[in-house]
Amino acid sequence: MKLNRLTLVALCLGAALIFMTGSAVAGTTTFTALKFAREVGSANATYTLPTAAPTHAMTLSFSNGDSFFIYVTLDTAATTPAKWMTIPSGAMAVAVAAGGAGGSITCGNTPYTAIASSGSQTLIYACSVSGGAVTTQPTATFTATGGTIKDVANTLGGGSTITITIATYNSFNVAIDSSSADTVNFLTGTYAVSVSPAVSGGAATIDVVSNRKNFVTATNVTTTSDASGSLGVLIGLSSGTVYGLYGNAYTLSSLSSIQLTFTPSTDYSGIKKAIWDPSGVATSSSTSPFTINISGGSASLSGTLKYIEIDVDGTTALATRTIAVTVTFNPGGVSATGGDGPTANTRTLQSSITLTTWTMNGTVLNALWLNGNNASFNSRIYLWNPSSVSGTVTASVYTLPTGMGGSTLLGTVSLGTLPATSATNIRLAEDILTPLAIALPYTTNGGNLLVSFTINASSVEGASNVFSSSFSYGIIQLWKQ
């Protein structure tokens, strides 16, 4: 490809230029790719290079008076649009290794010519040897610091890499120390904002003794708050630097934000609010919507684990649930000091992942249908406690109307203690409705009722039966909440 592009140059200059002495051995180009934030990427974005000086070691020797070219080619992939590069003056320098036989190498401070074609841009520097032969390995340094690259196809924003090739050519457009190893990564796109460390899932236990209104206290858990789950948000890499458009270390401004969205997204029963980083109370949310917005300028975005506190009101019965969190980055625009990315680059940092799980230190069983018309039916509830811990039993009685009108709590009664490894038979009329002073026979809504049992012991199982002297509706397993 280079031969076709440079034939005219070679023909014009061939008579004035001569071959170097020495063998055509492959040189070596070395450079550690600069990392630019994908968040700032867009088509035709122009990046300033904060520091860039790839080196190319030539395993060659030169005679006094020799002339040659150094080709610097940016991104040789012919299938991608050109990445146009502007270069500061004095970009090319060639140093002679110590011990060289007196000669020196001088290259033009600016490219002799620049040729661009589909997918690449080649800068050509003319060099000459004077003052004697150069018998040891010279090293070319291409100093592009302060230059710019126009990323036409948003290569960096897409997470790909722009390469650079440095090679030595003679006057006849023949590479004399070139190989595929000379192409190295020059710029690469990487995300600068990440969830790091990852979410650390926690757990809290709902205390049935408090009628499921409070938690059992534990590490990072109080009676009304669960701060057992945590996550970290990191700006930049854990090692090295990620740069923004203008060559500064990538940062966030107060225009941007990290948004935490919690699920379940509709069931906030008993939840009062959530707080990010409780030690600093950086930001908080109400339960509608259940989200937290953290300013991009917050010191809390340090990449260390920060606890997320979920507060409950202490008056509402809590349900077992798993609370997950999704982390979204909302950029606020690019600034010359590092800055955020275009607002169109909003992205999810972490899809829904478990933050905390709420369980109970007991069992809640629901008899979805019983009948209190004891003139016609008997209703029985059978409980089995397989655990080695006894547990108190309470029953809450609800109306069971037809349609979607909603239930009414008629009352809650304590039924005593269910011993360990033991069973019991509970009579609806005699043991539950009579102590609640509910007149018998109960005939409202046909006598239909729902009864919820809270047992301060784990893994309790149960069943119910409604029957008369001649008919039974069968054994129905109690629904475990």
Q: How far lies 217's CA from each of 214, 223, 225, in Å? A: 9, 6, 9
Give pLDDT, residue 111. Answer: 80
363-480 CATH: 2.60.290
Distance of alpha carbon 273 from alpha carbon 123, whole angstroms = 60
Confidence of residue 375 (pLDDT cuts 50, 70, 90): very high
Confidence of residue 359 (pLDDT cuts 50, 70, 90): confident
Q: Whole-angstrom distance between the N-terminal and C-terminal Cα of the chain?
A: 72
Give pLDDT, residue 315. Answer: 93
Give pLDDT, residue 1. Answer: 32
Give pLDDT, residue 22. Answer: 39
Give pLDDT, residue 382. Answer: 98
Confidence of residue 430 (pLDDT cuts 50, 70, 90): very high
> Strand (E) positions, 131-223?
138-142, 148-151, 161-169, 183-190, 193-195, 202-207, 214-215
Distance of alpha carbon 140 from alpha carbon 107, whole angstroms = 10
pTM: 0.73
Average pLDDT of the chain? 85
Distance of alpha carbon 345 from alpha carbon 40, whole angstroms = 8
Give pLDDT, residue 135. Answer: 85
Please list, residue by residue across 394-422, b when 16 or more beta carbons sit within 10 angstroms of its beta carbon and e when fewer do: bbbbbbbeeeeeeeeebeebebebbeeee
pLDDT surpasses 80 at 91: yes
Give pLDDT, residue 9. Answer: 36
Average pLDDT over residues 413-429: 95
Distance of alpha carbon 369 from alpha carbon 400, whole angstroms = 8
Enclosing H/E stretch for 68: strand 67-74
Distance of alpha carbon 394 from alpha carbon 455, whole angstroms = 7
Distance of alpha carbon 107 from alpha carbon 70, whole angstroms = 9
Confidence of residue 287 (pLDDT cuts 50, 70, 90): low
Estimate to the nearest angstrom the gap between the alpha carbon of 348 and the chain centroid.
Answer: 7
> Domain-by-domain residue ranges, the chain?
2-190, 193-360, 363-480
DSSP states of 415-445:
EEEE-TTEEEEEEIIIIIITTTT--SS--GG
Average pLDDT over residues 435-460: 93
Give pLDDT, residue 19. Answer: 40
Q: HSE on the CB side for 232, CA within 13 Å? A: 11
User: With left for phi above 0 and alpha for psi between -120 and 50, is residue 188 left, alpha or beta?
Assistant: beta
Distance of alpha carbon 75 from alpha carbon 82, whole angstroms = 8
Lowest mean pLDDT among 107-121, 134-148, 185-199, 456-470: 107-121
Distance of alpha carbon 169 from alpha carbon 69, whole angstroms = 5
In degrees, to the nearest 5, what angle opens at C-alpha 192 toward C-alphas 189 and 193?
A: 140
Give pLDDT, residue 279. Answer: 66
Q: Which of 27, 6, 20 is nearest to 140 (CA)?
A: 27
pLDDT surpasses 70 at 114: no
Confidence of residue 24 (pLDDT cuts 50, 70, 90): very low
Q: Which residue has the higher pLDDT, 5 or 321?
A: 321
Average pLDDT over residues 436-463: 94
In degrees, to the nearest 5, what angle opens at C-alpha 229 toward C-alphas 228 and 233?
A: 140
Amino acid in position 314: G
| Per-residue pLDDT tens digits for 191-249 | 999 998 888 899 999 988 787 899 999 999 999 999 999 998 888 777 789 999 999 99
CB contact set of 4 (below 8 Å; sequence gap of 6+):
none
Estimate to the nearest angstrom the gap between the alpha carbon of 271 and the chain centroid.
Answer: 26
Q: How far lies 247's CA from each of 12, 51, 73, in Å? A: 39, 8, 21
Q: Which residue has the higher pLDDT, 187 or 78?
A: 187
For the ranges 18-22, 192-196, 434-438, the maximum mean pLDDT occurs at 434-438
For the ranges 9-13, 277-281, 282-286, 430-434, the maximum mean pLDDT occurs at 430-434
pLDDT surpasses 70 at 11: no
Distance of alpha carbon 33 from alpha carbon 29, whole angstroms = 12
Pairing of strands 183-190, 28-30: unpaired
Average pLDDT over residues 160-186: 85
Q: HSE on the CB side for 40, CA within 13 Å? A: 32
Q: Across the strands, what pairs with 307? A: 230
Lowest mean pLDDT among 55-59, 88-92, 351-355, 412-416: 88-92
pLDDT surpasses 50 at 48: yes
Lowest mean pLDDT among 92-106, 269-283, 336-350, 396-410: 269-283
| Per-residue pLDDT tens digits for 314-344 | 999 888 888 999 999 998 877 777 778 888 8
Q: Which residue has the higher pLDDT, 238 or 2?
A: 238
pLDDT surpasses 60 at 360: yes
Enclosing H/E stretch for 191: none
Enclosing H/E stretch for 310: strand 306-312
Burial class (CB in 10 A: 0-12, 13-18, 19+), 131: middle
